[in-house]
Chain A
Amino acid sequence: MRRLVGLQKAGPRNRSDQRAELLLGALACVVLVLIAGMIIFVFAKAWPSFTHNGFDWFSPWAGGSIDEELTRIFESPANPNDYVYTMHAWPLIYSTALITLGAVIIGTAFALLSAVFIVEFAPPAIQKVLEPVVRLLAAVPSVIYGLIGILVIVPFVGNHLISQGAKDSVAGVVGLSGASWGVGVLILTVMITPIMIAIVVDALRAVPIGWREGSVSLGVNRWRALWTVSVRAARPAIVAAAVLATARALGEAIMLSMVTGSVGFAPNPLDGIIFFVEPSRPLAATIVDNAEGLSVAPFEQTLYAFASVLLISAAFLSFGGWYIRRRLRRYTLSPI
C-alpha cells in the first residue's frame, strides 16, 4: 500500500485537512474502543462458565445431553454459591462447524462456477438479468429462508425422503422429522452463495484483459486460459468471498433455529445416509432459542460463553483470511 506521507511533508499543512484527519482518527478510535469493550464484556461475562468446566467445555469426549445440562443450569438455586455450570458444549460446536463448513464448501464451488459462467460464457442478455438477480438474492433476510425451510423443505424431507426403517433405526435416540443439519446446509448455501458470486464476478472482471489475451495468443483454449490465468489471479477475492460467507454462516441464528431441529445432538457419520438428516442445533441458534433465560445469572454466563466462542471463531477467521490473501496477492493485481 502506498501512503501519501511524502506528499504531506512536502506541502504546507492545511488546517481543514488537519481537522478532518483528527475527526476521522477519533472516529476510528471510537470504533476500536467499542470493539475492544465488547470483547472484554463478553469474556468477563462468560468466564465462570469456562473456569467451572475447564477443558470439558470443548471436549468431544465429555458426554452428557447438552439440553438437559442447560435445563439444570437454568434451574440453578438463587444462592450464588450453588450455581450450576456443568456443561459440555461439544454437540453445539460440532454442529456449528459441520453446518458452516458444509455450506461454505458447497457455496464456494457453486459461486466460482456461476461467476465464471456470468463473466465468460453467458450471452449479454442473460448476463444483464443474472447479475441484478444475484445481488437481489444476497439481500433477502434470513427469516424468509427460514420460513420457506420450515413450511416447505422440512416437511418434504420428513415425509418423503426419510423411510420408516430409517426413523425406527434411531428411535428413542433422536427424532428424524426432516428438520436437520442437512436442510440447514442446503438453505444456508442458498443464502451465502449470491454474495460470493457478486465478489468473484467483480474480481474476474478486474483481471487485465491483456493477461488472458496473452495466454490465448499462445494457443491455449478459452477454458484453460480462464482457469489458469483469470481464476488464479482472482484467488485473493475468492478467499475474501469465502471468509465473508463463513462469517455470515457462523452467525446465522434465526433460519438455523427454525430448520435444524432444535436438538443439541452431535450427528454421527457412521449412521450412513441418515447422518445427513439428523437434527443438530448450532451455537448461534442455541443463543436465540434460549434468550428468555438471560435473567438467570449462570444461564446468562453460559449464553455469553457461547457468544465468546463465536467471537473468537470470527476473529480467527478474519485473521486467517487476511494471512492467506497476503500470501496470494503476490501473484495478482486484484485490489481486494
Chain B
Amino acid sequence: MAVIAALSLFAAVPAAAQAKKIITISGSTSVFPLETQLARKWIKTKKGKKFGFRILQGGSNVGISDVAKGRVSIGASSRDPAAGDPGGLVFTKIARDAICIITHPSNQLGNITAATIKNIFVGPTFTNWSQVPSAPISGTIDPIGRAPTSGTHDAFRNIFLGGTNQSSPPVAAKASNGLVQQGVQTDPQAIGYVSLAFSSGVNVVNYNGVACTLRNAASFQYGGVRSFYFVTRGAPVGGVKKFIGWVLASNKANNIIGTDWVPLH
C-alpha cells in the first residue's frame, strides 16, 4: 500500500546556524525503518549536523523512478537492479535482509527445500501437505504471497523460485508483509513468505536446512537473503556521498543495521 508517510527530521541546533541542506529520500517501505534510524543518528554527528532529511515511502519502484527523474536525492530500493530501470542510476548496497518461509504455529514444519517451495508456489504441483516431505499435518495447502508490485515479491521470485512467477490463483497476492503474517497466523494450512522482521507469532521454517536468523543470514549460510540499496543518479556527491559513506563505514551505522537487518561487514 502506497501510504505516503512524510517524516521530516531536523537536527537540534540553534536557529542562528546557517540554513541546512535537505537530503530527500523516497522508496521502499521495507527500507524505511532502517533509513529513518540511520538518518536520525547521522544528523547528530559532526559532518551530519549541517544536513536535514525529508523521507517518504511509496515502494522500491517509486524510489527508483523518483531518483531517476531528479525528484529526490536518494531512492531506497529493496530489490536488485532490473533490466527495465532507467539508465544512469548507481545502486549502492547498504544492508541485507532475510526472507523467511513461515507456516502456522500448529504446523511445525522443520525444513523446506527450494524444489518444494517451487512446487507449492508455481503450478502448483503440490496442493496437499501430505505431498510435502516431513510435513506434520495433512490437508490443502493455502499459499500466501505478495502483490507483483512489491520488492519482497521480486526478491522471493528471484531467490526462491529461480526467476519464475508465482501462480496466482491459488497464491493470494497480499498488499503487505503484515497481511501475509496475519494470514498465516490464522490459517493452520497456510504457507507464506515475509521479511525477517515480520516472523514473530508463526513457525519459521528452515530453508535448505538452514534456520532463518540474523546470524545465519550474516554468515551467508542462509540462502534467502536480499539486499537493500540506496539508489542515486550518477555516483553520489556532496552530502549524499558523506551520508552513504558514513552508512557504509561507521560502527554506529553498523550497530543500527545489526538490530533487525544484516550488516554488510
Which B residues between 71 and 89 are near A, CB-CB below 8 angstroms? 82-86
Contact for B172 among A65, A71, A279, CB less than 8 A: A279
Known A150-B182, A262-B174, A263-B169; contact A171-B140, beta-carbon cutoff 8 A: yes
Give CA–CA (A258, B179) in the complex, Å. 8
Query: A-B contact count, CB below 8 Å?
Result: 140
A175 pairs with B173, CB closer than 8 A: no
By the criterion CB–CB under 8 Å, are B65 and A262 in contact?
no
- Give B85 Cβ to nearest chain A Cβ, in Å: 7
B140 touches A292 (CB 8 A): no
Contact status A177-B187, CB under 8 Å = yes
Taking a contact as CB atoms under 8 Å apart, the answer to whether B170 and A292 are in contact is no
CA distance in complex: A27, B174 (Å): 42
- Interface pair A175/B175, CB less than 8 Å apart: no
User: Which B residues from 157 to 180 make CB contacts under 8 A with A?
Assistant: 165, 167-175, 179
Which of A31-39, A43-51, A152-160, A216-224 is the interface stretch?
Answer: A152-160
Q: Is A202 an interface residue (CB 8 A)?
A: no
Interface size on A, residues (CB 8 A): 46
Using CB atoms, name the residue of chain A closest to B62. A295
Query: For A70, what are the chain B residues with a Cβ–Cβ distance below 8 Å?
Result: 148
Say whether A292 contacts B187, CB under 8 Å: no
Cα(A178)–Cα(B168), bound, Å: 17
A271 to B148, CA, bound (A): 28
B130 to chain A minimum Cβ distance, whole angstroms, is 11
Beta-carbon contact of A292 and B61 below 8 Å: yes
Q: Given A155-B187, A175-B140, A295-B61 in contact, is the A289-B170 Cβ separation under 8 Å?
A: no
**B82: nearest chain-A partner, CB-CB:** A75
Q: When each residue 182-223 of chain A gets 1 if its CB lies under 8 Å from chain B and 0 otherwise, what string results?
A: 000000000000000000000000000000000000000000
> Interface size bucket, B side?
35 or more
| A74 and B148 contact, CB distance less than 8 A | yes
Whole-angstrom distance from the CB of A142 to the nearest CB of chain B?
Answer: 14
B58 A67 Cβ-Cβ under 8 A: no
Contact partner of B147 among A172, A289, A295, CB < 8 A?
Answer: A289
Closest to B150 in A: A292
B84 & A78 in contact (Cβ 8 Å cutoff): yes
Q: When A292-B59, A294-B2 are in contact, do A177 and B149 touch as well, CB less than 8 Å?
A: no
Distance A68 CA – B60 CA, assembled complex (angstroms): 20
* Measured CA separation A178–B172 after assembly (Å): 12
In the complex, are the beta carbons of B170 and A78 less than 8 A apart?
no
- Chain A residues lying within 8 Å of B124, measured Cβ to Cβ, are 172
Q: Which of B128, B172, B179, B186 touches A171 (beta carbons < 8 Å)?
A: B128
Write the chain A residue with the least CB distance to B172: A262
State whether B182 touches A294 (Cβ < 8 A): no
A257/B140 contact (C-beta < 8 A), A65-B167, A295-B64 known:
no
Complex Cα–Cα for A305 and B84 (A): 23
Residues of chain B with a CB closer than 8 A to A295's CB: 59, 61-62, 64-66
Q: Is A321 an interface residue (CB 8 A)?
A: no
User: Which residues of chain A have a CB within 8 Å of any CB of chain B?
Assistant: 65, 67-68, 70-71, 74-78, 150-151, 154-155, 158-159, 164, 167-168, 171-179, 257-258, 261-265, 279, 288-296, 299
* CB-based closest 6 A-B pairs: A293-B149, A292-B59, A67-B168, A71-B148, A171-B127, A295-B65
